[in-house]
A and B are shown apart, each in its own frame.
Chain A
Amino acid sequence: MKYVDEFRDPQKARTLIDNIRALKPALAADSAQPLQLMEFCGGHTHTIFRYGIEQMLPDWIELVHGPGCPVCVLPMGRVDDCVTLAERPDVIFTTFGDAMRVPGSKKSLLQAKADGADIRMVYSPLDALNLARKHPDRQVIFFALGFETTMPSTALTVLQAETEGIDNFSLFCNHITTVPTIKAILDSPDMRIDGFLAPGHVSMVVGEQPFEFVAHSYDKPIVITGFEPLDILQSIWMVLKQLAEKRCEVENQYARIVPSDGNTPGLEAMSKVFELREFFEWRGLGSIDHSGVKMRDEYARFDAERKFAVPNIKIADPKSCQCGEVLKGVIRPWQCKVFGSACTPETPMGALMVSTEGACAAYYNFGNLPELLAKREQLNKESVA
């Protein structure tokens, strides 16, 4: 298939792996204390597992799977709010597919749908706006979530609703921002990540500039990365090459999609409709300053949070859950106490088991479970001894 197979060529992959291995002498890395590279984005995590990239890499490189799966980091309280909204008899609640399964404290949207709530899966916020046009007697709420990647499309949908005077359409806004989150990870004391793969589709919107601080204030190399397996390998090589040459820069591997200054009309629409929240609650990471957006006062009538009574309940993550440590690369997913036992994709406790893009779910689905659990057992014994 054109524009797909070129980026999955096994021969080119072998060449890149050779190039990566060739950098070893210039890097201070060994298998006891491997170099840690974080891919921030859930899309990258998915590619890494789908193509088995981790096993192809030498053991002196460890990939840390970051918090960039918007479905995973959604706190339980917000899911409960969704369910409350969806269960109103006057509401058609619309959502992207993979948010349906995220567990709330009582139920997921999938369960709420089974209980009779009118919940519909859509592929775009414009589908939700269409439903609002078709059902003027109902309130259509779009569950807006995602990083900057999905923000322009929801912002433009709100602007379209305003132009057409569609007043039975609103957003339940749960959009989150990338930069404050990367900063929170960099500021955490137990973090020892050596370099970053920056999210390609977020960068397509925001451009290269917002990542400068990673290179300049924190001295970490960062490479904007595409989503095909060769993109990932090439970006890993680019980060390692920076480390080998003792450079810290923002480089753009995904230049075929990402313009250096981002998507200006998209950014304009975003800033017209949204403004930063003081803080936003993340599953696994807790509260992070300025890490979410809300709708500006001018668009209050399209804001489901203001239009309807949203209970806004806070629910703490389960204590046994170690998602935060996994997200920061302090432990590997399978080292978490509840991984594969109390926490599985069928009954996820923590953020990272929720969606297939979550690191724990990826290890559970694509990894060798008995082997991983045996490894954890072994480590526990060693630490007791």
Chain B
Amino acid sequence: MSASQNRRKLRADTITLAHGSGGKAMRDLIEDVFVGGFDNALLSQLEDQARFSLNDLAAHGDRLAMTTDCYVVDPLFFPGGDIGKLAVTGTVNDLAVGGAKPLYLSCGMIIEEGFAVEDLRRIVASMKATADAAGVAIVTGDTKVVHKGAADKLFINTAGVGVIAQGVDIGAQRAQPGDVILINGHVGDHGAAIVDARGDMALENTIETDCQPLNAMIADMLQACADIHCMRDATRGGIATVLNEFAENSQVGIRLDEAALPVRDEVRGMCEILGLDPLYLANEGKVVAIVPADAADTILHTMRQHTAGQHSAVIGEVVADNPGRVILQTGFGGERIVDMLVGEQLPRIC
């Protein structure tokens, strides 16, 4: 009889405090939903920790990379994704933009009592599918159930471990005048999709999140040029925030060309209505890369071969003037400074 046939089954429709109490109900939940759902040899051993061989890790490079992120998005399901897909993608991408090959993820869940088991299964299945697509395994985890009102439905934390190949050295302080700035497609899709999915605006067309793992594309970019200077995924705070971080850490100026910036019409439309700026909208599958000018064409070509990078574009350059500042050449012909955001972007009154 195989291990999967021996697994306990969860028969409840909703999660109760009993599922977090350490008893039989909790084992039903873990074995059926998580071990069954994530389905890999390391997790199935059900030890208190996942164990992996150092030699296997060393085959991929000479440095470990580790990261963690918490996911509290509302709503849990939105066009093009859900909190589970986001939780895997976000951590995979945080590793990948450091030049690491992502390998293993952990998954911590904080569940509000009363949460539907069916939704939990859907989210776990989405995590598994995303992990498979990214070539990583979810190898350890933890579950807590809290009283009604102590959490908003479901919070997920994932941590990830990856390995950085020898010779790769990506850092926010490495941008140099003359470097070229690349992005792998349309900006602001995720932020706009979340506003849209909350339903307050009742817009006719649906905006899909760009939530996608970037590790395969980034691996090929590093194949094309190991000397990529800076790379970050432009999540909260949008590309404006990432570019300001690069400008500040490298003490260089950054010139952005508004006309070259890919923004979907439906995202622009929403921003026009609400008075939001796509430069500050969140993305969940966009990497901003600063690369040496002589390698820019090759890297751009490589990015465009990937589904995640079909709409890649050169959006600006690094300059010596105005160190620490990001300056946007507006499509209209003027210039303005793009600063870090203060607080949250709020819709304008009129």
Contact = CB atoms under 8 A, between A and B. Distances in A.
Contact of B350 (A13, A201, A368): A201
B342 interface: yes
Nearest to B266: A1
Given A1-B265, A368-B322, A10 B347 contact: no
Interface size bucket, B side?
20 to 34
A96 B200 CA distance: 13
Contacts of B330: 50-52
Contact of A71 (B322, B334, B349): B349
A357 interface: yes
Contacts of A43: 350
B272 interface: yes
B337 interface: yes
Given A1-B265, A1-B268, A123-B201, A98 B335 contact: no
Contact of A55 (B268, B334, B342, B343): B334
B346 interface: yes
Interface stretch (A145-153, A269-277, A303-311): A145-153
A97 interface: yes
A369 to B, nearest CB: 8
A145 B349 CA distance: 9
A53 B337 contact: no
Given A1-B265, A4-B272, A98-B349, A365 B339 contact: yes
A97 B347 contact: yes
A366 interface: yes
B325 interface: yes
A21 to B, nearest CB: 14
Nearest to A110: B343
Interface string B289-302: 00000000000000
A247 interface: no
Contacts of A201: 350
A97 B346 contact: yes
A356 B332 CA distance: 20
Contacts of B265: 1
Contacts of B336: 49-52, 366
B269 A56 contact: no
Nearest to A54: B334
Give the interface SS of chain B, mostly helix, strand, loop or mixed. loop
A31 B325 CA distance: 28
A56 B335 CA distance: 8
A49 B335 CA distance: 9
Interface string B151-182: 00000000000000000000000000000000
A345 interface: yes
Interface in A108-148: 110, 121-123, 127, 145-146
Given A365-B339, A368-B322, A368-B325, A121 B333 contact: no
Contact of B337 (A51, A145, A366): A366
Nearest to B337: A366
A150 B348 CA distance: 12
A313 B63 CA distance: 61
B334 A52 contact: yes
A70 interface: yes
Contact of B342 (A8, A46, A121, A345): A345
A99 interface: yes
Contacts of B328: 52
Contacts of B346: 97-98, 100-101, 121
Contact of A51 (B201, B332, B339, B350): B332
B349 A10 contact: no
A150 B337 contact: no
B331 interface: yes
Given A345-B342, A368-B322, A10 B333 contact: yes
B272 A365 contact: no
A122 B201 CA distance: 10
Contacts of B349: 70-71, 96-99, 145-146, 150
B350 A149 contact: yes
B348 A98 contact: yes
A99 B349 CA distance: 8
A210 interface: no
Contacts of A110: 343
A98 B272 CA distance: 15
Interface string B84-118: 00000000000000000000000000000000000
A229 interface: yes
B247 to A, nearest CB: 13
Nearest to A153: B350
Given A365-B339, A367-B337, A368-B325, A8 B332 contact: yes
Residue of B275, B333, B336, B350 contacting most chain A CB atoms (<10 Å):
B350
Contacts of A101: 343, 346
Contacts of B201: 123
A43 B275 CA distance: 10
A52 B347 CA distance: 21
A346 interface: yes
A121 B347 contact: yes
Nearest to A99: B349
A101 B345 CA distance: 10
Interface string A19-59: 00000000000000000000000010010011111111000
A52 B348 contact: no
Nearest to B349: A96
Contacts of A345: 342
A183 interface: no
Nearest to B343: A101
Nearest to B259: A10
A216 interface: no
Contacts of B342: 345-346, 365
A9 to B, nearest CB: 8
Contact of B348 (A8, A127, A357): A357
A52 B268 contact: no
A14 interface: yes
A207 B336 CA distance: 33
A142 B77 CA distance: 30
Contact of B269 (A1, A121, A229): A1
Interface of B: 200-201, 265, 268-269, 272, 275, 322, 325, 328, 330-337, 339, 342-343, 346-350
12 contacts: A1-B268, A1-B269, A1-B272, A4-B272, A13-B332, A43-B350, A51-B332, A52-B330, A52-B333, A98-B348, A122-B200, A123-B201
Closest 6 CB pairs of A and B: A52-B334, A97-B346, A97-B347, A10-B333, A51-B332, A96-B349
Given A71-B349, A121-B347, 4 more contacts: A96-B348, A123-B201, A355-B348, A366-B339
